[in-house]
Amino acid sequence: MPRVNYAAPSSVDEAVKALAGASGLAKVLAGGTDLLVQLRSGRIKPDLIVDTKRIPGMIGIRDEGNFFVIGAATPGVMLSSHAGLEHAWPGIVEGADLIGSTQIQGRASLAGNLCNASPAADSVPAVIAARTIVVIAGANGRREAPAEAICTGPGRTSLATGEFIVEFKIPKPKAHQCDAYLRFIPRTEMDIAVVGCGTNVTLDANGVCTDARVVLGAVAPTTVIVEDAAKALIGHKLDDATLAALDKAAQAACKPITDKRGTIEYRTKVAGVLARRTAAIAFERAAAR
Amino acid sequence: MSYLDKAALKVVGTRPIRPDGVDKVIGRASFGADMTMPGMLWGKVKRSPHAHARITKIDTSKAEKLNGVLAVVTAADFPNIPNEEAFVGEGPMNFRDLSRNCMARDKALYDGHAVAAVAATSSAIAEEAVDLIEVEYEVLPHVIDVEEAMADGAPLLHDDMFTQGIEPKPEKPSNVAKRITFTKGDIAKGFAEAELVIERKYSTQPVHQAYIEPHACVVSYGSDGQCTVFSSSQGQFMVRAYCAKLLGIDMANIRAIPAEIGGGFGGKTLVYLEPVALALSKKCGRPVKLVMSREEVFRGTGPAAGGVIEVKIGAKKSGRIVAAELVLKYQAGAFAGSPVGPGCMCAFAMYDLDNVHITGYDVVSNRPKVAAYRAPGAPNSSYGVESCVDELARELGIDPLALREMNAARDGTKTPYGPTLVNVGYIPTLEAAKNHEHYKTKLGPNQGRGVASGFWFNIGGESSASVHVNEDGTVAVVEGNPDIGGSRASMAMMAAEVLGIPYEKVRPVVGDTASIGFTFLTGGSRVTFATGMAVTQAAEKVVEQLKSRAAAIWDISPEAVEWKDGKAFPAGSNAGSFEPLSLADIAVKSGRTGGPITAEVSINAQGAGPGFATHICDVEVDRETGHVKILRYTAVQDVGRAIHPSYVEGQMQGGVTQGIGWALNEEYIYDKNGRLDNPGFLDYRVPVASDLPMIETVMVEVPNPRHPFGARGVGEVPIVPPMAAVANAIADAIGTRMRDLPMSPPKIRAALDEQEPPRLAAE
Ligand SMILES: Cc1cc2nc3c(=O)[nH]c(=O)nc-3n(C[C@H](O)[C@H](O)[C@H](O)COP(=O)(O)OP(=O)(O)OC[C@H]3O[C@@H](n4cnc5c(N)ncnc54)[C@H](O)[C@@H]3O)c2cc1C
């Protein structure tokens, strides 16, 4: 009979020890909205599950000077009810808030969304677009890495055995900086992004873009930071020519597959559409600050 | 008796809470998977991973040796059933095919086809045991698409299938099980008179009924041969009949108990699990529970048929249709028996036409055998016809409702399939749609409006009901139809109305096969009509008894007693002067006046009035993503008389919702190996609540005089018009006609790209 061991340590060290000492496959548990579904369907057969939610700091949002520090297992509902975060990064909150339903929001976390390593994860593009740093604990202590360094392919991460994410450090916005996230799904909710796009822009006083990050989801094996899209924006206002260049750059960055959720052709076109639409929202928000 | 005078009714036409409502809302209702029996084992079905494969060997020895496994069955444990037509469920079925659908014999015909099953002391052990069963397959070429299945050289599913309906009998077997034709008038002459001919090809996809409750049963096969089957289905008598036939059991030895049903929509008008569970139970002597996972429901059970619809319509410039021709190619799934017959019959039933020719093909392919789904067959053919009529209206510059009115079927219209219509309310639905404020509102940019109509026969048939007066004057109603749409409430209301007592004093139950006379299953929109008629008649018999009991108490003749408002009165002063006796007064004394007061009525109800509907749909299309938003939707329907108006409206809204899903996103996606790629609600996209506006309903009431309260079936026709209504609205919004379902965002965006490249696209 299949059996699985469960540990709920109360410190990072204990958790690291448990993960490192496991005999077979060990999985970290945050909200479980991916993990438990995979467990039930038989897609994964872990020997050990380490629940991180009892570790102090894993749930909660701290305001630390230049950063928001978000515990890795903080559920979506806490992100969307945090006025400061919501005001600073409406795009990050939009992305996280799109995950599942009210029930799922009570559990689903940024770490789970990132480490499940689906290219379609909704919170990831805006988190990467904000140049978020993740703090990782492991046998050799703590290390930091940019959020985009975690996911290396569908279902795969760069985390070593025994490592897990403890928190997300999100830099606070500069003057005239803001973000936006949009995804396309055939319905209005409860669906997986066919394409997602997070755009983060900084403007000068005249509305000219000085810095930008455009991140696409679901158009390649991992989320894609579209350098050419940022180039298309930087030095420009959001006029028709800029939008056209942005659309083109976004489409060019796509390496999607054809599957039950969309064709290569369609995903590519919609990536351009969402790049334009998120840029328009982000510019408007940034200009309003 | 007739109760068509609406003003005189006290209960029928009101909106009380359904008797099963509280239990369902708080989670106390007992559905198929909720039952347990002492000593019960857990069963699990092993399914084919191949779309088409010969089963060369099944080795169950390892599974049998696993600790906790008490029985393993394969086709070898079932009688080999000969070819015989079955008239037990809804839609065509053959006992041999059904047996082989429940458990593959020789060949697996679709991904998910059951090949073996186990029973064990826990579900985890059962799952492990299923993996230990070794099946050797010789994988065969497969075919999924209907037209590819019809093509020469297509992989053959059944080498003994020779197309019926073709003379002389074809020399070679094929995947076409049957060809049928319907002819009225002279089609060639009709087209010769036409001033405009429109010929188009449309297609629909097989779709899932999307009932929330997966199939489930708990059964016991006693050592004395007596069996109990507790399961969720649309008909306990259907379950009994199929189990008896498939396993060779006397019907008297099977008691089939209906569970609460968590949706069916036609998908539970046949069996998958019950015979398998019985075979397992027989083998190990313990009760067995079998519950499908959602994935098993998608892979292993029957969707609605999809198919190809070729329509040719000839008309005068005035809009009068002079000829109509139709070819239907319907998916039957792995065994013969798509609803192509009703598809043919319903296609033009909205119209009064002189020259019609219809051909239908019933085609097998390597998909699960289709099952019924609301108005089986009609939504597909109507999608084609109502889209084509819209194309005709646009071409002629005639308002689509006016064009329909000009050609509308009415009393006296002889349908292309034979019968002449009486007491039908199609034109009133067109009038109500035309006069509805919705039809007059203005649309914005990228918005469009479509209308479409639909027809469904509705059926009557065999029903039984009994009415028991309890000692305290309350009443029990026992009927034989599982309640999938609020029918218990309607039964109680009709009984209460006839008896003249409050609705709450009548408690309806759905009886098991040993507790009530035979009742045909819940399907064909028949229950409120046929079983309602039986309930009404049984209540009337009870009233007769109540009158004679009052007469006995008063010592007057029963004819001198009148029943009114739940009380016996002397009929006029000649009858004598007595204080009225209430039902409760008489009930208390029933022991002394002749014993219990009960009546059971069994009928074969005739005269189910057909249903017509006309729908209006507004959409807005996002031209960049191809996303379609349903802005507003109004469903107008002739409902005969609404016994419980809220539940009638619920039927209309539900049918529309399912039709919109069929139109926009729903489809089974098979990979190149014929394996289902979206066996779950994540990627099989039924509409979610936020996708839809509140569906507005307009009930037109043209009473059906063949029913005591004027009821006609209402549950099926509302799924007939939506696909064309949505397609017509999209055509109006974007100027391009979508002919292949689903009209999903990628397809719409591609259609728009063909019009003109979007301004901001790359290059
Ligand atoms: C009904 C439903 C709807 C959904 N809708 C969406 C949607 O719209 N968009 C979307 O993007 N997703 C959606 N999801 C997926 C899921 O909810 C999200 O990915 C969610 O963010 C996962 O977070 P979690 O905390 O539940 O992760 P868990 O399930 O706990 O973990 C997910 C993965 O991350 C790993 N992990 C968790 N925490 C850590 C950590 N601290 N360090 C390292 N690895 C870790 C786990 O081992 C596991 O592999 C949906 C899921 C369901 C069930």
Find, among B424, B325, B422, the residue nearest to B381 by Cα.
B325
A53 in contact with ligand 1, CB cutoff 6 A: no
B627 touches chain A (CB under 8 A): yes
Best A39, A269, A276, A277 residue to mutate vs chain B (most B CBs within 10 Å): A269
Sign of CA dihedral B275, B280, B284, B290: negative
The interaxial angle of helices B400-407 and B378-396, nearest 10 deg, is 110
Q: What is the DSSP string of B452-511?
A: EEEEE----EEEEEEEEE-TTS-EEEEESS--SSSHHHHHHHHHHHHHTS-GGGEEEEE-
Locate the chain A residue with the closest alpha carbon to B622. Answer: A273
Q: What is the ipTM of this complex?
A: 0.95
A213 touches chain B (CB under 8 A): no
Within this chain, domains A5-51 and A178-287 share the same CATH topology: no
Buried/exposed code over A79-88 (b: 16+ C-beta within 10 A; e: otherwise)? beebeebeeb
Find, among B179, B158, B157, B161, the residue nearest to B171 by Cα.
B161
Residue B762 has pLDDT above 70, yes or no: no
- What is the number of the ligand 1 atom nearest to the C-alpha of A38? 29
**CA A101 → CA A77, A106, B665, B688, distances in Å?**
10, 9, 20, 11
CB distance A230 to A216 below 8 Å: no
A260 → closest Cβ in B625, B626, B678: B678
**CA A82 → CA A30, A67, A87, B592, distances in Å?**
20, 14, 9, 75
Query: Chain B window 120-179: which residues touch A at a Cβ cutoff of 8 Å?
Result: 122, 124-125, 128
Find, among A200, A271, A276, the residue nearest to A238 by Cα.
A276
In this complex, do B685 and A247 lie within 8 Å of one another by their Cβ atoms? no
Distance from the A227 Cα atom to the nearest Cα atom in chain B, whole angstroms = 17
Q: Which pair of structure tokens corresponds to residue B342?
A: 């009703």
A12 in contact with ligand 1, CB cutoff 6 A: no
A287 in contact with ligand 1, CB cutoff 6 A: no
pTM of structure? 0.96
Cβ partners under 8 Å of residue B255, min gap 6: B226, B227, B228, B229, B240, B512, B513, B514
In tens, the pLDDT along A207-245 reads 999 999 999 999 999 999 999 999 999 999 999 999 999
Please tell me the CATH code under which domain A61-171 is placed.
3.30.465.10
In tens, the pLDDT along B35-51 reads 999 999 999 999 999 99
Please identify every residue of B annotated as catalytic. Answer: 716
**What pLDDT does residue B761 have?**
39
If you average pLDDT over residues B317-333, what whole number do you get? 98
In this complex, do A187 and B128 lie within 8 Å of one another by their Cβ atoms? no
Query: Chain A window 227-256: which residues touch B at a Cβ cutoff of 8 Å?
Result: 240, 243-244, 247-248, 251-252
Find, among B711, B693, B532, the residue nearest to B611 by Cα.
B711
In this complex, do A186 and B745 lie within 8 Å of one another by their Cβ atoms? yes
In tens, the pLDDT along A34-71 reads 999 999 888 999 999 999 999 999 999 999 999 999 99
- Domain architecture of chain B: domains with CATH: 6-28+460-605 (3.30.365.10)
Question: How far away, in angstroms, is B207 Cα from ligand 1 center?
Answer: 30
Fold of A5-51: 3.30.43
Q: How far apart are CA A97 and CA B391, in angstroms?
A: 43
- Report CA dihedral (B524, B528, B529, B531) to the nearest 10 degrees: 100
In tens, the pLDDT along B200-228 reads 999 999 999 999 999 999 999 999 999 99
**What pLDDT does residue B92 have?**
73
- What is the number of the ligand 1 atom nearest to the C-alpha of A124? 11
In tens, the pLDDT along B132-167 reads 999 999 999 999 999 999 999 999 999 999 999 999
Q: How far apart are CA B498 and CA B502, in angstroms?
A: 10
User: A–B: how many Cβ contacts below 8 A?
Assistant: 73
Q: How far apart are CA B149 and CA B158, in angstroms?
A: 12
Query: Chain A window 263-282: which residues touch B at a Cβ cutoff of 8 Å?
Result: 263, 265-266, 269-270, 272-273, 276
Residue B708 has pLDDT above 90, yes or no: yes
**Best probe residue, ligand 1, of A19, A27, A28 (max atoms within 8 Å of C-beta):** A28
| Domain locations in chain A as residue ranges | 5-51, 61-171, 178-287
Q: How far apart are CA B136 and CA B133, in angstroms?
A: 10
In this complex, do A188 and B664 lie within 8 Å of one another by their Cβ atoms? no
Stated as kind and residue range, the H or E segment containing B110 is: none
- What is the number of the ligand 1 atom nearest to the C-alpha of A33? 26
Q: How far apart are CA B715 and CA B374, in angstroms?
A: 7
Residue A149: CB atoms within 10 Å = 15
B760 → closest Cβ in A41, A247, A266: A247
If you average pLDDT over residues A108-118, what whole number do you get? 98
Burial environment of residue B716 by CB neighbours within 10 A (0 to 12, 13 to 18, 19 or more): buried
Q: How far apart are CA B517 and CA B370, in angstroms?
A: 29
**What pLDDT does residue B404 have?**
98
**What pLDDT does residue B756 have?**
67
If you average pLDDT over residues B677-682, what whole number do you get? 96
The pLDDT confidence band at residue B610, using thresholds 50, 70 and 90, is very high
Locate the chain B residue with the closest alpha carbon to A250. Answer: B762
Q: Which CATH architecture has domain A178-287?
A: 2-Layer Sandwich (3.30)
A111 in contact with ligand 1, CB cutoff 6 A: yes
Per the rule left: phi > 0, alpha: psi between -120 and 50, beta: everything else, B710 is: left
**What pLDDT does residue A2 have?**
62
Q: Residues in chain A, how many?
A: 289
Nearest CA residue ID for atom 46, ligand 1: A28
**What pLDDT does residue B90 have?**
76
Q: How far apart are CA A143 and CA A136, in angstroms?
A: 5
Helix residue ranges per DSSP H, B311-421: 340-347, 378-396, 400-407
- Report CA dihedral (A167, A168, A171, A172) to the nearest 10 degrees: -90
Q: How far apart are CA B648 and CA B653, in angstroms?
A: 9
Per the rule left: phi > 0, alpha: psi between -120 and 50, beta: everything else, B10 is: alpha
A133-138/A141-146 β-pairing: antiparallel
In tens, the pLDDT along B291-314 reads 999 999 999 999 999 999 999 999
The interaxial angle of helices B722-734 and B378-396, nearest 10 deg, is 30
CB distance B432 to B636 below 8 Å: yes
A223 in contact with ligand 1, CB cutoff 6 A: no
Q: What percent of chain B has pLDDT over 70?
A: 99
**Best probe residue, ligand 1, of A116, A164, A194 (max atoms within 8 Å of C-beta):** A116
B353: Cα separation from own chain's centroid: 28
Best A270, A277, A278 residue to mutate vs chain B (most B CBs within 10 Å): A270
If you average pLDDT over residues B694-705, what whole number do you get? 97
**What pLDDT does residue B368 have?**
98
Stated as kind and residue range, the H or E segment containing B299 is: helix B294-300
A99 in contact with ligand 1, CB cutoff 6 A: yes
Q: How far apart are CA A225 and CA B242, in angstroms?
A: 59
Half-sphere exposure for A70 (CA within 13 Å, toward CB): 32
**CA B493 → CA B474, B507, B525, distances in Å?**
13, 10, 18
Question: How far away, in angstroms, is A115 Cα from ligand 1 center?
Answer: 8
Per the rule left: phi > 0, alpha: psi between -120 and 50, beta: everything else, B265 is: left
If you average pLDDT over residues A3-26, what whole number do you get? 94
The per-residue pLDDT of chain B, averaged, comes to: 96
Contact list, A2 vs chain B (CB under 8 Å)? 124, 128
Question: How far away, in angstroms, is A5 Cα from ligand 1 center?
Answer: 20
If you average pLDDT over residues B664-677, what whole number do you get? 97
* B187 three-class SS: helix
